Structures are given as structure tokens and as C-alpha cells.
Amino acid sequence: MIKTRFAPSPTGYLHIGGIRTALFNYAFAKKNQGEFYLRIEDTDEARSNQEAVDKILQGMDWLNLNHDGEIIYQSENKDRHKEVIQDLLKNGSAYECYCSKEELDEMRLAYEHKGLKPKYDGRWRPETGKTLPTKPADIQPVIRFKNPPTGFIKWDDLVKGSISVSNEELDDLILQRSDGTPTYNLSVVVDDIDMGITHVIRGDDHINNTPRQINIYKACGFDVPQFAHLSMILGEDGQKLSKRHGAASVTDYMDLGYLPESINNYLARLGWSHGDAEIFSLEQMCQWFSFDKVTSSASQFDLKKLNWINNHYIKTKNYDDIKTVLASKFIANDFDESKLQLIFELYKDRCHTLRDFEQHAETILGESRQIDEDLKIKYLNQDTLQHLKSLSIEFNNSDFSIGAIESTLKNFVKNRELKFPQIAMPLRVVLLGTDQSPSIGHIIAIIGKALFNKRMDRFL
């Protein structure tokens, strides 16, 4: 049975690259009728916090990336990590190192002096026939991994292809700090072993850890899982995606009025493809997913494309589908729901986000906007104001139904031998403060008599 996991560290917000990792883990597990787990890597007590955990859970829940089983908190496995470290000590795969900070600094400087990469020189590493230094009484030792001195670590990465690293490049890494806390590389391996993870799918910022972890698997006597290292997501300027580029956290996208299906669909395409398919559901992605279509090069975040996808999904919705996720400020305005429904239908083709829709609804139903001088000069001369006055009287004699508004408009333009925009544009400017909108007849019918007259009276 295939088992994957998403293993975020709750030390900040859940960024878009992180959730893409979760998505690919989820899709690969589902594709293979496997299981997908969530493990919160909260061992860094100083940096981990509950707010970050909540954001992770909220983001995954929003995107429907439901995990199997219970959430695993890495901090709860500390005793187990230490137990494994003791086993490694016993089987000769680890050893105590009593180097002081000063000694390590000297060691580093000595290497740097010779123009070499700093490295632990192995002074506490036990070897047959070697006499170790005397243990200092005032130092709590760290426990180091006894990395194999020669040979290569090789693996076939499901994304990056075949990778080989020489053991000579690897240090005897610390498994347990002098305060007794296990380190990241050890904890990850032990948890992945205990959870029975078969495929480790994560960001390629971890690729340097993988050979070290493979050696730990072997020293523990366990099979090494398969690895898939996903390439980075870059911003539109080619730099690593970060807050500088605008919204970087998943929950920001929720607040900005993106739909979960758009984010999943967009992130799926960011680094993976299925023929020419651009629009697909999470279920379809799960049916189609395979690593041979995951790119090994970095992908570039493209807000225009995300907006295009979000617009696609917004168009498929009814007002009832989206009303629960509208901004609270907007709901507080207490707009008439039946009008909001009509506005949504009228405007959804033009909305890249739900915030766009809210903006349009505000323009139509909210406090009327200041009108730019430019628009006034362009559209509101004495003649047009006269026309609007007469038209206004005709509308007021009707029942303000869409049928009545449209036929009044049509006849008015025809009788006065005007072109439709000569009336429609000034109406838009006076009623909405803009010269762009869908059918002005529909807007007038939505606004209704009272608001129509209020806005007209400002001018006439």
C-alpha cells in the first residue's frame, strides 16, 4: 500500500509551494489507492506555534486535501526518536562527541585556512585501534551519526532522475544535541519508518538531506522509501516566491476571493501536466497523476493564469454557491440578496475573484461614487443631461421591470434618432461612476426606482 505524507513545519504561514507539495502527495496517494498523512513537524519549540498549525489545517481543509488517520505531531514522538538514537549507539552507527564550541570553531577555521570546505574532523569517531580523547567532565556530548566513510549513495528520484552523492562529501551529522533533543534528519527518518511511508514527496530544498537520511535508514536496518523532490516555484521575476510577490500564503488566496478548485487546478498545473488539459477537478487530477509528467525544472507563478482559471470556476457558480464566502464587511452592508443574485449573474463573466464581484455590487448598491471629471466632460454635456431628464420621467412612468426599462430605452433612442451608446454611456456614468458595465437596462432594473432617482437627482 502506498503511503505518503505532508510534513510541514508550523513556523510561519503555509506558503503556496508547501500546499502544492501537499496536493502532489495527496494526488499520488489517491491515484494508487494509497493513504495520505499529515505530520506536523513541530520539534523546533522556539519557532513552532499554534497559529501556524491552525493555518495549515485551515488551508488543507479549504482545498479538500483530507488526510487519512490522525494528525501526527512530531514533538510527541521525541522519546521514540531518542530510543532509536540509543539503538544506533548500540549498533555502532552513532557515537558521542565531546567537542566544545571553541574546538569546533577552531576546526572550521583550520579547514577554511586551507581553502577547504569546513567539516567535522572525526576526532571522537571511534575506529578500530584508535584511542579517543579523554571525556571532559564539564561537557554534555552530542551524538553524531557514523556516516560511512566511502562509497556512494544513489537513488532514482521520481522527479529529478538518478542522483549519486559521495559519502566523502558528508559529515558525521549530529543526531542528538547536547541538550538531549533529536535533530531534524533523525526525526524525519524515524517518523517516516514508523508511519510506513513508501514515498517521500517534498520540496527540492530538502534534496541535500536525502543522502544523509538514506544512510540513517540503512543504519536502522530499514528499506529506503522512494523520493520525489518537487522543484521550486518562482515569482514572475524569476526569484524564489515570497511575500514580496504579494500573497504567498494559502489563506491569503482564500481572503482574496479565489475558489479552492481554482487553487488546486492552478497548482496542479504548476509543475505537472496531463496532455493539453488546463481545466480539471481534484478528482481528475487524482486519476491522472503520475511523476513522469512532473517537471524537474522550476515553475513560474503566473497570476494572470490563476485569475483566468478562477474566472472559469466563478462562471460555473450560482450566487448560492458563493454567498457564504463573501467578505464579512460586505455582508454587513445588508444588501438585498435577490439583487446580489442578479448582480452575480450579470457580472460573473467579468470577475477574476469574488472580491471583483463584491466591488461591482458595491458600485451598484452601495454609496454612490464620486465621478471623475474626465468622465463628466466626456459624457455629460447639456444635451445628454436633457435626454436623461426626459428618459428619467419615462422610466418613472413604468414599473421598472427589465422588460419596461428595455423597451423604454429602445423607443427613446429610436424616437430621438440617437445611437444607443449616446444614452447608455451617460447613464453608466451617472448611475455607477464608470463608463464600463454589462447591460445598462439590467442594471437599472436591479437598482430599482428609489436608488435610480436618488442618483439621477444628483445631476439633474
35, 41, 172, 261: residue in contact with ligand GLU (rule CB under 6 A):
41
Identify which of 219, 225, 172 has the alpha carbon closest to the alpha carbon of residue 201. 225
3, 4, 8, 72: residue in contact with ligand GLU (rule CB under 6 A):
8
Nearer to ligand GLU, 191 or 358 (CB): 191
Q: Which of 135, 240, 243, 454 is catalytic?
A: 243
Burial class (CB within 10 angstroms; exposed 0-12, middle 13-18, buried 19+) of 248? buried
Is the CB of residue 37 less than 8 Å from the CB of residue 3?
yes
Strand-pairing partners, residue 4, are 36
Let me know the angle formed at the C-alpha of 277 by 274 and 281, rounded to the nearest 5 degrees.
90
Site map 136..175 versus ligand GLU, x via CB under 6 A: ----------------------------------------
Cβ burial 5-35 (10 Å sphere, 16+ → b, else e): bbbbbbebbbbbbbbbbbbbbbbbbbebebb
Specify the DSSP class assigned to residue 15: B
Q: Choose the binding region for ligand GLU from 7-15, 327-335, 358-366, 378-386 (rule: CB under 6 A).
A: 7-15
Compute the least distance from the CB of residue 32 to ligand GLU, in Å.
19
Nearer to ligand GLU, 40 or 63 (CB): 40
368: which 3 cell numbers? 454612490
Compute the least distance from the CB of residue 84 to ligand GLU, in Å.
16
**Contacts of residue 303, Cβ cutoff 8 Å, sequence gap at least 6:** 236, 246
Q: Choose the binding region for ligand GLU from 2-10, 118-126, 293-301, 341-349 (rule: CB under 6 A).
A: 2-10
Q: Choose the binding region for ligand GLU from 4-12, 131-139, 326-334, 452-460 (rule: CB under 6 A).
A: 4-12
Give the H/E segment covering residue 150.
none
Q: Choose the binding region for ligand GLU from 5-13, 138-146, 302-310, 396-404 (rule: CB under 6 A).
A: 5-13
Nearer to ligand GLU, 9 or 273 (CB): 9
Compute the least distance from the CB of residue 265 to ligand GLU, in Å.
24
Compute the least distance from the CB of residue 214 to ligand GLU, in Å.
13
Nearer to ligand GLU, 72 or 309 (CB): 72
How far is CA 169 from each of CA 115, 119, 164, 210, 215, rounded to the nearest angstrom?
A: 15, 9, 11, 13, 13
2, 9, 181, 459: residue in contact with ligand GLU (rule CB under 6 A):
9
Nearer to ligand GLU, 9 or 341 (CB): 9
What type of residue sits at position 340? Answer: L
The residue with cell 496517494 is: 29
Q: Does 63 bind ligand GLU (CB under 6 A)?
A: no
**Contacts of residue 131, Cβ cutoff 8 Å, sequence gap at least 6:** none
180-239 positions binding ligand GLU, by CB under 6 A: 188, 202, 206
Nearer to ligand GLU, 17 or 257 (CB): 17
Nearer to ligand GLU, 206 or 352 (CB): 206
Site map 361..380 versus ligand GLU, x via CB under 6 A: --------------------
Q: Given phi > 0 = left and psi -120 to 50 = alpha, else beta, which region is 221?
A: left
Compute the least distance from the CB of residue 169 to ligand GLU, in Å.
20
**Active site includes 454?**
no
DSSP 205-266: GGTTHHHHHHHHHHHHT----EEEEEPPEE-TTSSBP-GGGS--BHHHHHHTT--HHHHHHH
The residues annotated as belonging to the active site are: 243
Judged by the rule CB under 6 A, the positions of this chain that interact with ligand GLU are 7-9, 41, 188, 202, 206
